[in-house]
Amino acid sequence: MNDNLHSDPLFPDVLGAIAGSARIHMDALQMAVGVFPRQAYLNQPVEVIVILQNMIDQPLEVKIALHLPSKDDSGSPVTVVAPKRSLSMSLRPAETGVMRIPVVALPPTQPVENLPILVAVRQRPQRPGKTIRPAAGGAPPSVLAVSPFKLHVLRDVEFTEHSPSQSPESVRLHFDLAPKMLPSAPKDLKPTYETLWTMEQLKEEQQLARSKIDDARLVASGMTRPHLYTPILYAVNELYAAHGLPLHPGEAKAIAKMITYTLDDGAALEQVTSLEDTRWFQTLCQVLAFDPSIAEWDAGEIAVRYLFEASVFDAVLLAFGLIRPRVRVNLGDRTERANYANQVIGWLAGQSEPDLTYIYLPLVLGGVAVNSVVVARDEDAWQTLDEVREAYRGRMRLVSGPTLEIFDMLDKLLERAEDDLRRARILRL
């Protein structure tokens, strides 16, 4: 048995453990921006809170500037001040931290809702660096440079959801002024920065993850097709639609089959790699280090809640390997395939525009290849292939160029998938 995890460490997603999906991408930096409390009185400070997560293995220079309002929506003058409107700092490699900048509304400002604050952020690596965190997130941290209580307090902040179509360098916040005034504003306000996680925590993170390998193997043994397929199908439909690529039923089923196959020991069955070397298993070890009680959860819930992005990455690599001998087309080497898998994950994280190839290459193609071995209860596997055909015929009217080549491959795979069903004596329902 392999008691070691992959030598390339997976860094924990501290930002996601705090802000959930409120993740803003800026090349080498991810951040979440919020204000707390959401409502204040005159002379009562609110804090602009910026979670900063360095995504690379090099130092990162960050500048934060506040643009404070001088008028409210009705045109009435307002007085909003901050001890510093512009800040500069350097994040160490892989560091995650929180910047708090106090802001105070002063008289004669009147009670008002939705006073805007514009937060402008710039980032620049000191040197070109290697990305060390998955764009769409990862396992929560099991070791922090602060107490769990402080992390809990940060989770109470309302971080803003920022559309990928909006510039990540300019984030708009709002807060309300209630009809009450404190006697005077504090005079000793100043911005503060606190480190949440650094490379110093990595060794202990890795040790804790390794200590959970046996527990993770036990959980992985329960990652079977009957437990996984339906929740993964729901997750696939929701996530693709949320990121601008709503799926036809056959497409969603094929993608869900490929991800399910990947989690249900697909890598070992295809003799691609060991369980311990898959990204989803490494992530599972980290998740159990974060909270051992998650081992008692339903397998589908674990897969969707914590392993989805990692399993998509592994499914892309596995699907390329599955379809290559069936279509006899050059699909790139492992490095090229891994880079493409990262592109898919980056799109799921909101870093790029929707692209039809993220549906078909290689996930739908791989799902067609495993259609006969991943069959849900009461599912007609023949109908799934019919639905894939119906979907791609509709898509073909809208595409040209390289995407047509993908559909040529799909035609071949569909024919072979039908032969697989006949050989397996799987009949139409």
Give residue 349's pLDDT: 86
pLDDT at 380: 95
Return the pLDDT at 1: 36
CB 117 within 8 A of CB 47: no
pLDDT of residue 7: 52
Return the HEC string of the chain.
CCCCCCCCCCCCCHHHHHHCCCCEEECCEEEEEEEECCEEEECCCEEEEEEEEECECCCEEEEEEEECCCECCCCCECEEECCCCEEEEEECCCCEEEEEEEEEEECCCCCEEEEEEEEEEEEEECCCCCECCCCCCCCCCCCCCCCHHHHHHHHCCEECCCCCCCCCCEEEEEEEEEEEECCCCCCCCCCEEEEEECHHHHHHHHHHHHCCHHHHHHHHHCCCHHHHHHHHHHHHHHHHHHCCCCCCHHHHHHHHHHHHHHHHHHHHHCCCCCHHHCHHHHHHHHHHHHCHHHHHCCHHHHHHHHCHHHHHHHHHHHHHHHHHHHHCCCCCCHHHHHHHHHHHHHHHCCCCCCCCHHHHHHHHHHHHHCCCCCCCCCCCHHHHHHHHHHHHHHHHCCCCCHHHHHHHHHHHHHHHHHHHHHHCCCCCC
User: How far apart (Å, rounded) are the C-alpha atoms in residues 295 and 297?
Assistant: 6
| Per-residue pLDDT, 160 | 94
Q: For residue 6, what pLDDT is reported?
A: 53
pLDDT of residue 402: 74
List the pLDDT tens digit at each of the 429 positions of the chain: 345 555 578 899 999 999 998 999 998 999 999 999 999 999 999 999 999 999 999 999 999 999 999 998 888 899 999 999 999 999 999 999 999 999 999 999 999 999 999 999 999 999 999 999 988 889 999 999 988 888 889 999 999 988 777 888 899 999 999 999 999 989 889 999 999 999 999 999 999 999 999 999 999 999 999 999 999 999 999 999 998 999 999 999 999 999 999 999 776 777 678 899 999 999 999 999 999 999 999 999 999 999 999 999 999 999 999 999 999 888 899 999 999 999 999 898 888 888 999 999 999 999 999 999 999 888 999 999 999 999 999 998 877 777 788 999 999 999 999 999 999 999 887
For residue 53, the model assigns a pLDDT of: 98
